[in-house]
Structure 1
Amino acid sequence: MKLFKNIILIIAFIALSAAAYFYYQRTHQTNPADTYRLSEITQGDIEQTVSANGTLNPVTLVSVGTQISGIVKKLYVDFNDAVKKDQVLLELDNSLFMAQISQSQASVRNNQAAVELAQANEKRIRQLYVQEYVSKQELDTAVQVLKSAKAQLDSARGLLARDQTNLNFTIIRSPVSGVVVDRVVDVGQTVAASFQTPTLIKIAQDLSKMQINSSFAEADIGNIKVGQVTKFNVDAYPNRNFEGVVKQVRLNPTNTSNVVTYDVVISVDNNEQLLLPGMTAYVNIGVAKREQAWLVPNAALRYKPKLDDNTADSAKNEPRKNASGRKKGNKGSDLNTGSIYILKDGKPLAIKVRTGITDGRYTEITGQDLKTHGINIGTQVIVAELQSNGQAQAGGNMRGPRMF
């Protein structure tokens, strides 16, 4: 009898548990909208840009050097000084060149005297030759001596001119009007110009006109054209945007670790003199713009549902996408197509779309399927699935990081 009662109690407990379970399932069904993170399709303007870093430089930067060696004797300018064309910048010690000039002048006088003696001798021999007191050979010798003396005089004068020129080179003058941006010598320093011209001072011709020398990846260079307006900012003024214009796209590529880049020169007006040489500029060039376009977050184009029975047919045929939501370039595939997912009857439904330009956060979409399924501005699209801990997951088939 006691065993029978225990069996009855067990059966009753199982029945009550089953009833409680079904009641719980009935009253606590998960709302599909709470399983996914959603975002709206919006309408607005979008601009696609390409970005790169560059360096601000003067349009004309003149490196003033010296053609001769010597010791810096006097220095007339310093950093940030404004200079005019032909203004004296510095002087080198000219003692050695003054001595060379004295020697050359003495050589000129010596050769001048030799020429005068040769002229007098040639004149006398010529007169004697007319009177037939000397032979033709003696006359020819006198003429040759005169010519040789004149040649030696010309050579001495050339050396004197060279020495005078070298003396003039001891005074370094500014070739342009501008601002001194660098000075690499001091008074008493010896400069040597044996194999190459040493740089003494750098002068920026006009700091109100500057340029940015930047490098853009080969994937972006096709969208950059001369005359495009660019925007950039610098660390010195983080809350201010500056503008420039693409001046030149240089054809010479730079290959660094198999990464090909091209130099792009951007002209900048610097009338306020806020931008300084050497500043790092963060450049953005607008290459495409759309007005009142339909926009979705890039996460909506990257999302892909779990491979279950409800979504397997649509998901299996979806090609992989890159970080911006665009399809990867499989052979024969259209790189400008993708899919977004909406909730229909509590399940994700794939809608094929054509993707346009992107600004890194949102992407332009168009497509016939949008009208077919009655999708409008404000329609909710899936951007991620919510896990049990409330965190979003971009797609049900995403794998976690490998643990080593």
Structure 2
Amino acid sequence: MKKNKWILIIIVGLLLVGVVAYFIFHKEENSVQLTTEKPHYGDVATSVSATGKIQPVDTVAVGTQVSGTIQKVFVDFNSVVKKGQLLAQIDQSLLLAQVEQITANLQQSKSNFSYQQSNFNRQTELYNAGGISRADYETAKNQYEVARDNVNSVSAQLKSIKKSLSFTDIFSPIDGTVLSRKVSEGQTVAASLNTPTLFSIAKDLTKMQVQASVDEADVGNIKVGERASFTVDAFPDDVFTGTVIEVRLQPTISSNVVTYTTIINAPNDDLKLKPGMTANIVIYTKEVKNTLLITTKAIAFVPDSTLGKQFKIGKAPFLHTKKHKKTESKSNDSISAIKKAIVWKKEGNNLIPKQIEIGLDNDIDVQIIKGITEQDEIVTGIKAPQQSKGAKTNNSSPFMPKRPGGGGRN
């Protein structure tokens, strides 16, 4: 019995020593964990970003052709006006005086013309009867023609001054809204070389346009008819939509930066958009709806040798996955070329390389044309290794004094 008891004690002691030795000397290896995802259906698009100003589609600057003092102003900022509506009046007193003067001159010219006509008729009869010389006849004829032309000249002057008088009434040329009023009653305007602008009228504020400044590196991708969206600082939560209607060829150069003006129509039925607002614009150059997608992280992932301890890694058809080989374009009109890439499919402890054909890439998602399905589990990366439970942590402050190590003495 004593012998069996000692054997049992020895066995238990050995087990205890083994357990202690296991926890002291065994270092638990951290298992590698992979991040995966499954392809999903969604929309993908490539876009161009730009900034621009919101402007009315049609704006008319109303000026004056005559000089004078503004006598009356009938509209103000934001006034809604109709075509032919009276906007302002210039003082007519000087022009009315000129009309009276020229009218009097016309009456004198007509009276003189009547006299010269009668005189010419008498001189004609005397010349035909041989009573006067040819020189006297031609003098009477000349005076008659000069008097006739003088009547025509003064009549033209009267017509011109009356036309100028009509210009003292400033009418609206279109239906619209007054954006600016640059004159006040009593102000003098001078219509000399440059016609002064009195009012600026927007034709229809429910139809606006965005003048986007697109960088020369991006303008080649923009075409008429492409969809655009933009936001303004006044309504940061609202996204407005529009369509590209024009890409102007005239470049704008500022600090050696070349941009091209791109016009985007912007419906404004609720009148939220105001002229002059700054718009942050996104123009969608290519779009694909409801297509199979995967994140770009899956395209960039390449397994390394450390995964070989835990997973069986298949042989990829090519090594450098960042260089995509272009092939001929297929049926999708929005894709100019189809590229090939490698993704890694996880099946248990196996990592299987799958060659896929990809289309549109917006640097976040990639369109999958061929090669995998939405049931496949695709590796996108490696999780950071987690510290084992038995591992010791050093939570001491680096600023606290440390004990001497290695059994040495001070």
TM-score using structure 1 length: 0.72
CA contact (8 A) 2:32 2:307 kept: no
Rate the CA distance shift 1:115–1:286 in 2: closer, same or farther, 3 A: same
Cα distance in 2 for partners of 1:100, 1:255 equals 51
Deviation at 1:174, TM superposition (A): 0.5
Match among 19, 27, 43 for residue 46 of structure 1: 43
Aligned residues: 352
The 10-residue stretch of structure 1 (340-349 or 158-167) with the greater mean CA deviation from structure 2: 340-349
Q: Percent identity?
A: 34
Deviation at 1:367, TM superposition (A): 5.3
CA contact (8 A) 1:339 1:351 kept: yes
CA contact (8 A) 1:32 1:346 kept: no
Could you tell me which residue of structure 1 aligns to residue 117 of structure 2?
A: 119
Deviation at 1:94, TM superposition (A): 2.2
Counterpart mapping for 1:151-300 below 5 A: 151-257=149-255, 259-300=257-298
Cα distance in 2 for partners of 1:307, 1:79 equals 73
Deviation at 1:347, TM superposition (A): 11
Cα distance in 2 for partners of 1:108, 1:288 equals 73
Aligned letter for 1:46?
D
Quick check: which has more Rg, 1 or 2?
2
Rate the CA distance shift 1:150–1:339 in 2: closer, same or farther, 3 A: farther
CA contact (8 A) 1:232 1:282 kept: yes
Aligned letter for 1:115?
F
Rate the CA distance shift 1:48–1:98 in 2: closer, same or farther, 3 A: same
Deviation at 1:129, TM superposition (A): 0.7
Match among 360, 368, 377 for residue 365 of structure 1: 368
Deviation at 1:133, TM superposition (A): 0.9
The 10-residue stretch of structure 1 (120-129 or 226-235) with the greater mean CA deviation from structure 2: 226-235
CA contact (8 A) 1:49 1:284 kept: no
CA contact (8 A) 1:45 1:289 kept: no
Residue 318 (str. 1) matches residue 316 (str. 2): no
CA contact (8 A) 2:298 2:378 kept: no
Cα distance in 1 for partners of 2:359, 2:298 equals 14
Deviation at 1:172, TM superposition (A): 0.6
Could you tell me which residue of structure 2 aligns to residue 131 of structure 1?
A: 129
CA contact (8 A) 1:41 1:295 kept: no
The 10-residue stretch of structure 1 (166-175 or 258-267) with the greater mean CA deviation from structure 2: 258-267
Cα distance in 1 for partners of 2:175, 2:228 equals 29
Cα distance in 2 for partners of 1:320, 1:253 equals 36
Q: Secondary structure at the match of 2:112?
A: helix
Aligned letter for 1:183?
R
Cα distance in 1 for partners of 2:367, 2:87 equals 59
CA contact (8 A) 1:229 1:286 kept: yes
**Structure 1: 5+ residue stretches without partners:** 1-18, 329-333, 390-404
Could you tell me which residue of structure 1 aligns to residue 138 of structure 2?
A: 140
Rate the CA distance shift 1:318–1:154 in 2: closer, same or farther, 3 A: same
Could you tell me which residue of structure 1 aligns to residue 30 of structure 2?
A: 30
Provide Cα deviations, 1:80-101, integer angstroms capped at 9, x if missing partner. Answer: 1111111110111223222322
Cα distance in 2 for partners of 1:170, 1:387 equals 85
Q: Secondary structure at the match of 1:32?
A: coil
CA contact (8 A) 1:71 1:188 kept: yes
The 10-residue stretch of structure 1 (51-60 or 295-304) with the greater mean CA deviation from structure 2: 295-304
Q: Secondary structure at the match of 2:163?
A: helix
Cα distance in 2 for partners of 1:233, 1:266 equals 13
Cα distance in 2 for partners of 1:384, 1:52 equals 36
The 10-residue stretch of structure 1 (279-288 or 81-90) with the greater mean CA deviation from structure 2: 279-288
Q: Secondary structure at the match of 2:130?
A: coil
Q: Secondary structure at the match of 2:131?
A: coil
Rate the CA distance shift 1:378–1:350 in 2: closer, same or farther, 3 A: closer
The 10-residue stretch of structure 1 (279-288 or 175-184) with the greater mean CA deviation from structure 2: 279-288
**Structure 2: 5+ residue stretches without partners:** 1-20, 327-336, 388-410
Deviation at 1:205, TM superposition (A): 1.6
Cα distance in 2 for partners of 1:124, 1:31 equals 132
Counterpart mapping for 1:376-387 below 5 A: 377=375, 379-383=377-381, 386=384
The 10-residue stretch of structure 1 (146-155 or 337-346) with the greater mean CA deviation from structure 2: 337-346
Q: Secondary structure at the match of 1:163?
A: helix
Residue 75 (str. 1) matches residue 78 (str. 2): no
Deviation at 1:48, TM superposition (A): 0.6
Q: Secondary structure at the match of 1:120?
A: helix
CA contact (8 A) 1:46 1:358 kept: no
Could you tell me which residue of structure 1 aligns to residue 359 of structure 2?
A: 356
